[in-house]
Amino acid sequence: MPSNKSVSDSQIIQFINCRILKDHLLQREDLWVRDGKFLDPEKLFFDEEGFADIRVDCNDSIVAPGFIDVQINGGYGIDFSLATDDVSGGVALVAKKILEHGVTSFCPTLVTSPPHIYHKVLPEVKVHDGGREGAGVLGVHVEGPFISPQKKGAHPEMFLRGFEAGGVRDVLETYGCLDTVAMVTLAPELAGSPAVIQDLAQRGITVSLGHSVASLSQAEEAVRQGATFITHLFNAMLPFHHRDPGIVGLLTSDRLPAERTVYYGMIADGIHTDPAALRIAHRAHPAGLVLVTDAIMAMGLPAGRHTLGQQVIEIQGLHACLAGTKTLSGSIASMDMCLRNFRQASGCSREAALEAASAPGPAPGAQPPEGHPGLRHRCRLRVAG
């Protein structure tokens, strides 16, 4: 029977002989797609009398949701923290390249920089859903400069600042514009941070805790004010201590709002986090784990010297360090590499590993969970063997 094209002239694609991630399980089920959107087969058959124009045999492969990377500093020679003459072009290049590794949405991330960098870069990053030309942009992740000098990592100390002028006024003066900002990493122990966290959360911006020496009680207060994420758990924060576990303690805290889920980023590149630490975090709070690459411009390039904002980074093997030091400065790992490392280290199921990399958001039009890193994500397909 010929297809009924009264509803749409676009071709209907049917993926057969595949496993899809549905209800936290890999299930054998055909998948119907038109114009990049999933179709309800019952409505297609009975309401439209439609049939597949193209059938794709997946040969028992997994059809997974597109991956999301909410912390990526650049790649393939592009450093998002540099105010170049073609900021949007650089973002587009990275978007196209990471699509090859299964990433369909991401947050271009800027490390601590002088104000003129933010004023130049932020307005030129365009939020969009993406498509065949590259991954979608969820918004910018600004990591700093409101962080602790004691846990600055590779962030240049000369550009760090606190909330001296009056909380959110410092934020607006520094960034210039918040229209394209999706996530802000800050240290919750800084004076004035509770009011800033509350203001940012009310604007729909995800507040992430990181580069911090915060105690557990300070971290809990930050969550009560609206923070919902932790930047690269275990890295650039106080180590776990049995009398005060610090930010890490949020994973099992019983003093948080009942409706609030705390998510946390993990860099599973085999360098930043020991496999045992990955297992501890995942077993303590599996629903909150979100894989991130923290990749820098050197991803996809030969070893040598590159930049991360205002700093020079040296690549030796799989290590990216501040030149002349052993301070880790991002990674050179792709998301699919992190997913494989995470699954091997944690011993988790394929389903859990895919969900950690994709963090699928709610269906279009649904009310998203507060603070979820995939708020504006439109999930596209990737096929994995």
Across the chain, which distance is largest between two alpha carbons, in Å?
A: 71
Q: Does the annotation list 306 as a binding residue? A: no
Neighbours of 130 (CB within 10 A): 23
Residue pointed to by tokens 């991401």: 106
DSSP codes joined into one string, 42-67? HHHHHTS----SEEEE-TT-EEEEPE
Query: Is 294 one of the annotated active-site residues of the chain?
Result: yes
CA separation for the pair 28, 21 (Å, rounded): 9
Q: Does the annotation list 242 as a binding residue? A: no
Q: Does the annotation list 235 as a binding residue? A: yes
Element (H, E) at 183: strand 181-186
Q: In this structure, are residues 122 and 177 in contact, taking their beta carbons and an 8 Å threshold?
A: yes
Q: Does the annotation list 164 as a binding residue? A: no
DSSP one-letter code for 90: H
DSSP one-letter code for 159: G
3-state helix, strand, coil in the chain (%, to 5): 25, 25, 45
Q: Does the annotation list 26 as a binding residue? A: no
Q: Does the annotation list 154 as a binding residue? A: yes
Q: In this structure, are residues 94 and 123 in contact, taking their beta carbons and an 8 Å threshold?
A: no
**Hey, what are 350's tokens?**
């394929």
Between 335-346 and 350-358, two packed helices, what is the crossing angle to 10 degrees?
Answer: 140
Q: Does the annotation list 232 as a binding residue? A: yes
Q: Does the annotation list 157 as a binding residue? A: no
Q: Which of 79, 170, 294, 336 is catalytic?
A: 294
Q: Does the annotation list 236 as a binding residue? A: yes
Q: In this structure, are residues 250 and 217 in contact, taking their beta carbons and an 8 Å threshold?
A: no
For the annotated catalytic residues, the residue numbers are 294
Binding site feature residues for substrate: 154, 235-236, 243, 272, 328-330
Binding site feature residues for Zn(2+): 143, 211, 232
Binding site feature residues: 143, 154, 211, 232, 235-236, 243, 272, 328-330
